[in-house]
Chains A and B, each alone.
Chain A
């Protein structure tokens, strides 16, 4: 049986030629994302906002009106009830209570007492204001350090032009994921941060693949026009970029469909991040190189030494 070529050989897409259109699209994505982040913000889960979340299972279909009535009478401020999954499963969210941690604990107790027996508490999560602030701080720190670390690594392995282009593409991907979470107001929690970080680490892979080829070709073809050279590298690496992303997307779709509710946000963030990452490595990262051309091998160096340098990378 012949293997299937999902991506035909010798594609001649004019990726670099489309850059004005794709830059406009990317610009739009970033502007809309930032706009939404500025106006709507993120729908922080209790991990960051503090508060209480309870997932309960009632015996028989849940009587939402009855539950809402009971909980509203407790005077705990904003209590949101949401049916999810099966008709007997309800998610209860209680906003952060006025006062210290003890006030939060009292709220959980009050809810449990008011709902009475015959209810299975599948999940109870309470995050106090102190911990919430710390998690927020740690999350921001982790993402910042990751971006800096990856930039340092790319800089170390390539030249600064590649590092800058890669980081712009990487930020583009992260902003797009954040923008999506802001636009849809999907809950943004700790696992979402994990997803954003993983997107940062993974979406750069395609970029590195194309950069490796670009660098090789710059050594090999010293007279070739940069835009053509980059475009050829993109076409040559197209199958690699798409196939590697494809395998990950396939597993992510499995997580999305079968992984349960707790992982939903994670799977969505990762899937979108990997898709945008594949796009950005072609249309953002490599196209940016055109505006800050990397140094080419000095005249007189032979192709042989270029080859050796490549092998040295291995």
Chain B
């Protein structure tokens, strides 16, 4: 026992010193740290533990991408092709519709059903087409569906990032979760309503021709047209329009959009610019339809439907409506950032204002400080000199825990702080087991050195057993937990590992130094 391998001593000291170095930045204010960090290599211990949104304040949004909408839109395109192909092949059909990712129609003459199936199947090889009696149904193959989902989510993330960046939010975290979910974390955003509004619109812009003669309430609409409602800020026009089913110019040909003011009325408007293809199409369409209305449609709602006075060949235009300044700004932002491939829904929101975050940090600091003090006092009262040694190991344990959290770039949450406080109580458990065993051995008649030796050796098995069961729980909590609870699992698991090291290796080292230097004759435990 008095012998403690030199390499072990060096190892323990190295670990403690390195931990202290890596934990130290957490005590230094960020601005000073930034100053020092300039010109230093990145491996230098300058990382701080990052605070979770529940501590620094901010908004956590879990968004669902409605992949179904993308698929339905694609099937609408297939339906258009099918209509013309079937007409060409002289196949009569009825009830052609897309619903829940399936396109289906009935063939009038059952003898033509197989031909109809083949016609639809030839539109796209990714379609799985089945025939049931005279009913043909087509849907995307599983692989094609997944591909579309993947690209829709990737594209959504890109658009979400652009919209959030344009809104001026700093350091957002945007990442995919699972197959069709996107996690958005917005540090410092205490009221995410504006962001939610920006993300809540697909912002699909299109220019449609208006059929002024058809009656939108008449029930039947001419082929190639459909009824669309007016947008809420379209106060001048009628509530319903009959517009072309497909846009004559689509919004993805826009290159820029800026909020502005109408020169005559002084009202907020949005100016937009087309790319060269869009400009040419827009020029052609306006030239051919002078005197007719052109509907500006955003997300299947008509924002305005001005009458075309002359051909617009400059490649730019204006959207006017009853916008507030904020609405014009937002619309311009949305048009610049581009349309989402599918609607997003907020599945989960957790927002913490800066006030509560600061209160939580303060509460955590007080609870940790008092928790540490109580344990330290209790250990000294219960185990005297040995308690002091356990406390040295406890402090080293906290330093190692903080260092590990900084090094791993872990996020500290409020439950994470609870994990640290709890770890303090659990860390000294190992020392309690060791000290009680030493005491037992000493009372049983062993010498000082023999008792200490036996105490450590015999207790280690028990310590490992009891800590591993807690580690199992922590691992599952990490694997299946979410958000702030994960922060608890991380601090608990790291705390258990560091406490096993500190309670066994560090306490032992300190006791070895004591035994060597003081050569005690008795153990006062």
* A interface residue numbers (CB < 8 A to B): 1-6, 9, 55, 57, 100-102, 104-105, 108-109, 112, 120-128, 130-131, 135, 138-139, 141-142, 145-146, 149-150, 153-154, 157, 190-191, 193-194, 197-198, 200-202, 204-205, 208-209, 212, 236, 239-240, 243-244, 246-252, 254-255, 257-260, 262-263, 266-267, 270, 310-311, 313-314
CA distance A121 to B467 in the complex (A): 41
CA distance A157 to B462 in the complex (A): 10
Q: B477-510 CB contact bits vs A (8 Å, 1 = yes)? A: 1011111110011001000000000000000000
B334-358 CB contacts (< 8 Å) to partner A: 345-353, 355-356
Report whether A202 and B470 are in contact in the complex, using a CB–CB cutoff of 8 Å: yes
Chain A residue numbers with a CB within 8 Å of B465 are 153, 157, 208, 212
Report whether A267 and B477 are in contact in the complex, using a CB–CB cutoff of 8 Å: no
Residue in contact with A146 in the complex, picked from B193, B381, B414, B472, CB distance below 8 Å: B472
Report whether A201 and B473 are in contact in the complex, using a CB–CB cutoff of 8 Å: yes
Report whether B433 and A246 are in contact in the complex, using a CB–CB cutoff of 8 Å: no
Q: Which of B30-38, B263-271, B281-289, B415-423 contacts A (4 or more CB under 8 A)?
A: B415-423
**Contact status of A102 and B418, CB under 8 A, knowing A112-B193, A124-B351, A243-B432:** no
Report whether B348 and A209 are in contact in the complex, using a CB–CB cutoff of 8 Å: no
Report whether A313 and B349 are in contact in the complex, using a CB–CB cutoff of 8 Å: no
Min CB–CB distance B309 → chain A (angstroms): 39
CA distance A249 to B62 in the complex (A): 36
* B interface residue numbers (CB < 8 A to A): 54, 62, 64, 190-191, 193, 196, 200, 345-353, 355-356, 359-360, 363-364, 366-367, 370-371, 374-375, 378-379, 381-384, 386-387, 414-415, 417-418, 421-422, 424-426, 428-429, 432-433, 436, 440, 443, 457-458, 460-462, 465-474, 476-477, 479-485, 488-489, 492, 524-525
Residue in contact with B436 in the complex, picked from A135, A150, A243, CB distance below 8 Å: A243
Residue in contact with A130 in the complex, picked from B54, B347, B370, B433, CB distance below 8 Å: B347
Residue of A nearest to B429 (CB): A244
Report whether A123 and B353 are in contact in the complex, using a CB–CB cutoff of 8 Å: yes
**Contact status of A131 and B62, CB under 8 A, knowing A3-B525, A260-B359:** yes
Min CB–CB distance A280 → chain B (angstroms): 14
Chain B residue numbers with a CB within 8 Å of A252 are 422, 425
CA distance A126 to B471 in the complex (A): 31
CA distance A98 to B466 in the complex (A): 47
CA distance A208 to B355 in the complex (A): 44
- Other than the given A101-B346, A101-B347, A131-B62, 18 more pairs (CB < 8 A) read A125-B350, A126-B348, A146-B472, A146-B476, A153-B465, A190-B484, A194-B415, A194-B477, A194-B489, A198-B473, A201-B471, A205-B466, A250-B374, A251-B371, A258-B366, A260-B414, A270-B422, A313-B461
Report whether B461 and A212 are in contact in the complex, using a CB–CB cutoff of 8 Å: yes
Chain B residue numbers with a CB within 8 Å of A157 are 465
**Contact status of A255 and B470, CB under 8 A, knowing A3-B382, A128-B347:** no
Residue in contact with B418 in the complex, picked from A130, A149, A204, A259, CB distance below 8 Å: A259
Report whether A259 and B421 are in contact in the complex, using a CB–CB cutoff of 8 Å: yes
Counting chain A CB atoms within 10 Å of each CB, which of B432, B457, B473 scores highest?
Answer: B473
Chain A residue numbers with a CB within 8 Å of B466 are 204-205, 208-209
Report whether B469 and A4 are in contact in the complex, using a CB–CB cutoff of 8 Å: no
Report whether A198 and B480 are in contact in the complex, using a CB–CB cutoff of 8 Å: no
Chain A residue numbers with a CB within 8 Å of B471 are 201
Counting chain B CB atoms within 10 Å of each CB, which of A55, A153, A194 scores highest?
Answer: A194
Min CB–CB distance A314 → chain B (angstroms): 4
Chain A residue numbers with a CB within 8 Å of B458 are 310-311, 314
Dominant SS among interface residues on chain B: helix
Report whether A101 and B193 are in contact in the complex, using a CB–CB cutoff of 8 Å: no
CA distance A115 to B381 in the complex (A): 54
Residue in contact with B425 in the complex, picked from A138, A251, A262, CB distance below 8 Å: A251
Min CB–CB distance B73 → chain A (angstroms): 19
Chain B residue numbers with a CB within 8 Å of A209 are 433, 462, 466
Report whether B421 and A254 are in contact in the complex, using a CB–CB cutoff of 8 Å: yes
Question: Would you list 15 pairs from A and B whose C-beta atoms are within 8 A, ordered by A residue?
Answer: A2-B524, A3-B524, A122-B356, A124-B349, A126-B348, A138-B480, A145-B476, A149-B472, A153-B472, A191-B418, A194-B488, A205-B429, A246-B378, A247-B429, A311-B458
List 3 A-B pairs, minimum CB-CB distance, nearest first.
A201-B473, A313-B461, A251-B425
Report whether B360 and A260 are in contact in the complex, using a CB–CB cutoff of 8 Å: yes
Chain B residue numbers with a CB within 8 Å of A251 are 371, 374-375, 421-422, 424-425
Chain A residue numbers with a CB within 8 Å of B363 are 258-260, 263
Report whether B381 and A3 are in contact in the complex, using a CB–CB cutoff of 8 Å: yes
Chain A residue numbers with a CB within 8 Å of B356 are 55, 122-123
Report whether A248 and B426 are in contact in the complex, using a CB–CB cutoff of 8 Å: yes
CA distance A236 to B429 in the complex (A): 17
Report whether B415 and A208 are in contact in the complex, using a CB–CB cutoff of 8 Å: no
Report whether A212 and B422 are in contact in the complex, using a CB–CB cutoff of 8 Å: no
CA distance A58 to B381 in the complex (A): 46
Report whether B477 and A240 are in contact in the complex, using a CB–CB cutoff of 8 Å: no
Chain A residue numbers with a CB within 8 Å of B476 are 142, 145-146, 149, 197
Chain A residue numbers with a CB within 8 Å of B470 are 198, 201-202, 205
Counting chain A CB atoms within 10 Å of each CB, which of B64, B348, B384 scores highest?
Answer: B348
**Contact status of A250 and B371, CB under 8 A, knowing A105-B196, A157-B465, A255-B421:** yes
CA distance A9 to B462 in the complex (A): 21
Report whether B367 and A131 are in contact in the complex, using a CB–CB cutoff of 8 Å: no
CA distance A191 to B418 in the complex (A): 10
Chain A residue numbers with a CB within 8 Å of B425 are 247-252
CA distance A265 to B268 in the complex (A): 51
Min CB–CB distance B427 → chain A (angstroms): 9
Residue in contact with B360 in the complex, picked from A125, A247, A262, A270, CB distance below 8 Å: A262
CA distance A1 to B432 in the complex (A): 19
Residue in contact with B374 in the complex, picked from A191, A254, A310, CB distance below 8 Å: A254
CA distance A276 to B509 in the complex (A): 35
**Contact status of A194 and B481, CB under 8 A, knowing A248-B422, A254-B370:** yes
Chain B residue numbers with a CB within 8 Å of A125 are 349-351
Chain B residue numbers with a CB within 8 Å of A104 are 346
Residue in contact with B345 in the complex, picked from A9, A57, A100, CB distance below 8 Å: A100
Report whether B422 and A198 are in contact in the complex, using a CB–CB cutoff of 8 Å: yes
Residue in contact with B348 in the complex, picked from A6, A131, A145, A257, CB distance below 8 Å: A131
Min CB–CB distance B433 → chain A (angstroms): 6
**Contact status of A105 and B200, CB under 8 A, knowing A126-B349, A197-B476, A263-B415:** yes
CA distance A259 to B414 in the complex (A): 9
Min CB–CB distance A53 → chain B (angstroms): 10
